[in-house]
A and B are shown apart, each in its own frame.
Chain A
Amino acid sequence: MNTIDTLQFAFRALTAHRLRTFLTASGIAIGIAAVILLTSIGEGVQQFVVSEFTQFGTNIINITPGKITTHGGSLGAIGSSRLLTIEDAMALKRSRYAQYINTSVMGNAEIRAQGRSRRVTVYGQSPDFPNVFNMSVSTGQFLPADDPRNPRAYAVLGAKVRTELFGNTNPLGEILQVGESRFRVIGVMAAKGQVLGFDLDDTVYIPTTRALEVFNREGLMEINVAYRPEAPVQAVTDDLHRILVARHGREDFTLTPQQQMLNTLTTVLNVLKFAVAALGGISLLVGAVGMVTLMHIAVSERIAEIGLLTAMGATRTRIRILFLMESTVLSTLGGLGGLAIGSSIAWLLKVLVSGLPVSTPWDYVLGALALSVLIGLVAGVVPAMRAANLDPVTALQTE
């Protein structure tokens, strides 16, 4: 009995009970559709989060003051960590891996211009800031490359601040008051929108040293080092570490490569995606239980037929294959149906609900299909074994 005949035989058995076949296949279809839909959403969310996160570039190492460790003795005996300073940043700039360095301080301040005032996030940044974070200027220019210890009092506006304070008039050359200090506006950033909850357009950028004065701070909040993409991240980290330890005498800072954060994030999102797929898997499991039940019923109903086939010379292997084929055909049909349903709902969601990140990962789709074939095989094994091991004499006596 060749494969085509076996398939045809299985098909005839399934079409003999259309409703029953349809319902059981639906169980599998719903499961597969759930898996596909949920993983599509999971994948979409992952892509969305990662792209939000990497839009500023991935070859960045962030340096923050203080070292997170647990000490045995009292904290007072060791003393507080040294601050990160502009001089530290200037030393790091001499690392052979460093491409751009940015020094960062942020805070809330009241800004005033043209008789209007607004409370916004004020960033103290270096002239390299747009290069480090892939930001661009729409009008004018970013902060000029002055001596970082004594930069001129220039300010660059976020897109929203510009419209809020200056309306349609040209802000370039105007005076902007930040706290008690006065700055001259030399540029406006391109609109960036919200990123992970921060409105990057409702901001003002001023030189770091000036920001330290505005906020009355001694040390930097963060130094961002952009290294050449081809440089190995470990070598870069080691080099930066060496420079800072030489300056501070000990490790009282924390180096966090963006890549490392990204890896952590990806791991978390993968777990999330898997968990969501597992949820879909539960409904698939329910469908599979339905299939096992159906196959047992099919065998019980067809005991006489099995006896007949045996009498006509079908081997046990043949009987087993017939029933395995039947359950596999059934689950594959269900799987294909689920694939169609799942991916069309995913597509509809994407089209109808704009902003919902949905992306159907094709490897998951193929995986789901393979899974439904596998479910058919597994669901069919026990019933098929039962069918093959029937005693033909008893089977033939069954009506």
Chain B
Amino acid sequence: MIHLADITRIFQMGDQSVYALNKVRLNIAVGEYVSIMGPSGSGKSTLLNIIGLLDQPDKGCYELDGKNVTDLTKDEQAQTRRDKIGFVFQSFHLIPRLTAAENIEIPLILSEIPPDERKSRVVEALHAFDLQSRAQHRPAELSGGQRQRVAIARATILRPKAILADEPTGNLDHSIGAEVMMLLEALCQTGTTLIVVTHDRELSARAKRHIGMRDGKIVTDTS
């Protein structure tokens, strides 16, 4: 599913080159549940951004779903993101002026799915994430857990191959965070690859495979 070969990402900080990622090799199979842990600045977010095609490596080769995606144009990257990857963010990133239902609908609009089908798929998603009663509420009127559920519904509505979650429970209290993780894990059980970046040990422990990072390198990889 995901093959990273010698991925290197360098940031220029003034006249210094900082290796955010240094020759990272990583293979993730379809349906895996992977957690990436490491201290701040270890490169875990950069790794996630590169897997999610939001950032491009300076060196190395990235193969996603059997296709080399290292040298795609910006538009091709956008299309690949849309069709294959769902993002879940720590701060939810819901559009404040749109209702929960409309937020969930955005990916469908971007991929030009006809309105009728959009409506039924949104209803389905609202149902799946137990948000029917909140459909017409704006993000400001929702609790943190509800917001993250909306965000997950949005990330999964196009049935992506992989879900990339960056500290998905970082802004939620413990029990709500656990509920949200159960939703993500349920998706993983249906064959979606789930990659969670966190520095929360307990959260990381839930995954089947644990990757530890330090100074731009993978230092542990245990299943």
Decide yes or no whether A356 CB sits under 8 A from chain B. Answer: no
A280-311: CB near B (< 8 Å → 1, else 0) gives: 00000000000000000000000011011111
By the criterion CB–CB under 8 Å, are A309 and B87 in contact?
A: no
Q: Is A168's beta carbon under 8 Å from chain B?
A: no
* B87 A318 Cβ-Cβ under 8 A: no
Shortest Cβ distance from residue A5 to the other chain B in the assembled complex, whole angstroms: 5
Using Cβ atoms and an 8 Å threshold, which residues of chain A touch B87?
311-312
Contacts of A318 in B (CB 8 A): 78, 110
A-B contact count (CB 8 A): 68
Docked complex Cα distance between A9 and B102 (Å): 10
- How many residues in B have their beta carbons less than 8 Å from beta carbons of A? 28
**B202 contacts the other chain (CB 8 A):** no
Per-position 1/0 for A302-328, Cβ under 8 A of B: 001101111111111110000000000
Among the stretches B48-56, B61-69, B213-221, the one at the interface with A is B48-56
Instruction: Pick the interface stretch among B92-100, B120-128, B189-197.
Output: B92-100
Interface pair A396/B89, CB less than 8 Å apart: yes
**The one of A2, A307, A310 that contacts B78, using a Cβ cutoff of 8 Å:** A310
CA distance A304 to B93 in the complex (A): 7
Interface residues of A, dominant DSSP: helix
Q: Is there contact, CB below 8 Å, between B79 and A1? A: no
Residue B106 at the chain A interface, CB threshold 8 Å = yes
Known: A2-B112, A318-B110. Is A311-B52 also a contact (CB below 8 A)?
Answer: yes
Contacts of A307 in B (CB 8 A): 93
Q: Say whether A313 contacts B78, CB under 8 Å.
A: yes
Q: Determine the residue in chain A with the shortest Cβ distance to B96.
A: A16
Cβ of A12 within 8 Å of any chain B Cβ, yes or no, is yes
**15 extra interchain contacts, Cβ-Cβ under 8 A, other than A396-B54, A399-B91?**
A1-B109, A5-B109, A9-B109, A12-B97, A15-B97, A16-B96, A16-B97, A305-B93, A308-B95, A310-B81, A313-B111, A315-B75, A316-B74, A318-B110, A393-B55
Binding site for A on B (CB under 8 A): 49, 52, 54-55, 74-75, 78-83, 87, 89, 91, 93, 95-98, 102, 106-107, 109-112, 154
What are 5 A-B interface contacts by the 8 Å CB criterion? A9-B109, A16-B96, A305-B95, A312-B154, A313-B111
